[in-house]
Amino acid sequence: MPVLRGIRAWQGRADNRADRLLGAILFSPNLFARIPRLGEPPVFLPVTAATSVPLFIFQAGRNGNRWHLPALLERLERHAPVYVRHLPGVTSLFYDGDTSAETRMARAALPTRFEQAIERLRDHPVPKTALPLPGQPVQASVQDSGLDDRLRPYRGRVRPSPFTLPDLTGRAWTLDDYRGRVTVLNFWATWCPPCVEEIPSLNRLRQAFAGRPFRLISVNYAEPPERVRAFLEKVQVDFPVLLDTDGRTAARWQVVAFPSTFVIAPDGTIRYGVNAAIAWDDPDVIRALEALLPKP
C-alpha cells in the first residue's frame, strides 16, 4: 500500500524525473481496503485502479491471497502492464516459518529474478502525472475492518458449494449433502496463530454436541501434508482435517482471512459466518447452534 501511494505522491511532484523510476516489484501484495465479511467479494483500495506505472508481482502459491490475484490484476492492469511470476510451494518469502525447499530455492534465485524483472520494467514508460482516484478513498477502521468478534449472520450465497478433499490418510471426504444436521466448516492454516488458538474451543464445541445431529470439519489451506501431520502430532485436534492443497476450495468459498468458519443449518443453507477466531464453546454460541438443530 505505501509503495503505490508513494508512487502517486512522486507523480504529483513538479520536480519528478521519469528516469528515476522504473516501476515497482511487489511480493504477494495485500491491497484489500478491508477484510470482507464471509461471502462478500474482496474490496480493493482505490489506488489499485489508479496506478499507472509498470509492476512486477512475485506471487507465493500458498499465500492466502493467491486466488484473489485475478480480481486484483483486473484493476492494476487498467492503466499499466503488470507482470506476474508465480512461486509454487511458497507461503511467503519473508516468513521465517516457511522453510520449504521451494521457498529456499526461490530465495536463492531472487537476485537473478530481480534483474529479469527490472529489465521487463525498463521496456515501459512511466507517466509523470498521477491518475485521479476513483470515487472516495476507503478508510478502514477497527469497526469496519470486516473481522468478526462473534457469530454473525451470513450475508453471501447461502447454498454451500460441494467439494471432495482428502484427509491425511488419503481417505476422500465428499461434502455435497449438508441437510439433516448442523455442520461447522472451519478453514485454517498452521501458520495462523488465531487458527491455532481457537482449536481447543472447537474441540470443546464438538464434545458439547456429541450424540446430536452435528458435524465439525476443518479444511487446511494449501499446506503440504507432512507439515499438517507434524502439527497434529503436537496439537490435539478432535475433528477431521481435510487438505485443500492448492487452495481452490477456499477460493470457491470466498475465504480471504484465516480462520474462516461457516455454520450450515440442517436445511442446507449457511446461517452464520466468522472470519476470525472466536470462543466456540461460549454459551451464546452454543445456544445459537442448538437453536439450529432439527426438532425431534
From residue 242, give the alpha-carbon distance in Å to each of 154, 177, 213: 23, 17, 20
Residue with cell 466448516: 185
Look at residues 168, 295, 287 and name the one whose alpha carbon lies nearest to residue 239.
168
Q: Do both 285 and 156 map to the same domain?
A: yes
Q: Specify whether 98 is located in the same domain as 212.
A: no
Tens of pLDDT along the chain (296 residues)?
999 999 999 998 888 876 789 999 999 999 999 888 888 888 899 999 999 999 999 999 999 999 999 999 999 999 999 999 999 999 999 888 888 999 999 999 999 999 999 999 999 999 989 999 987 544 544 445 668 888 999 988 888 989 999 999 999 999 998 899 999 999 999 999 999 999 999 999 999 999 999 999 999 999 999 999 999 999 999 999 999 999 999 999 999 899 999 999 999 999 999 999 999 999 999 999 999 999 87
Cβ burial 177-207 (10 Å sphere, 16+ → b, else e): ebeebbbbbbbbbbbbeebbebbbbbbbbbe
* 175 & 249 share domain: yes
Do 266 and 189 fall into the same domain?
yes
Whether 160 and 279 share a structural domain: yes
Q: Which domain holds residue 211?
A: 152-290
How many structural domains does the chain have? 2
- Do the domain assignments include residue 145? no
Instruction: Residue 181: name the closest of 251, 120, 267 by CA.
Output: 267
Q: Is residue 173 part of a domain?
A: yes
Residue 167 lies in a domain: yes
User: Do 173 and 285 belong together in one domain?
Assistant: yes
Instruction: Tell me, yes or no, whether 269 and 167 share the same domain.
Output: yes
Same domain? 173 vs 270: yes
Assess if residue 132 is contained within a domain.
no
Answer yes or no: do 283 and 158 share one domain: yes
CATH number of the domain residue 212 falls in: 3.40.30.10
Question: What is the spatial distance between Cα 160 and Cα 142, in angstroms, rounded to a whole number?
Answer: 29
On whether residue 94 sits in a domain, the answer given is yes
Confidence (pTM): 0.88
133 within some domain: no
108 and 156 assigned to the same domain: no
Residue 25 lies in a domain: yes
Looking at the structure, tell me whether residues 170 and 101 fall in a common domain: no
Q: Is residue 147 one of the residues assigned to a domain? A: no
Cell of 4: 503505490
Model pLDDT, residue 29: 96
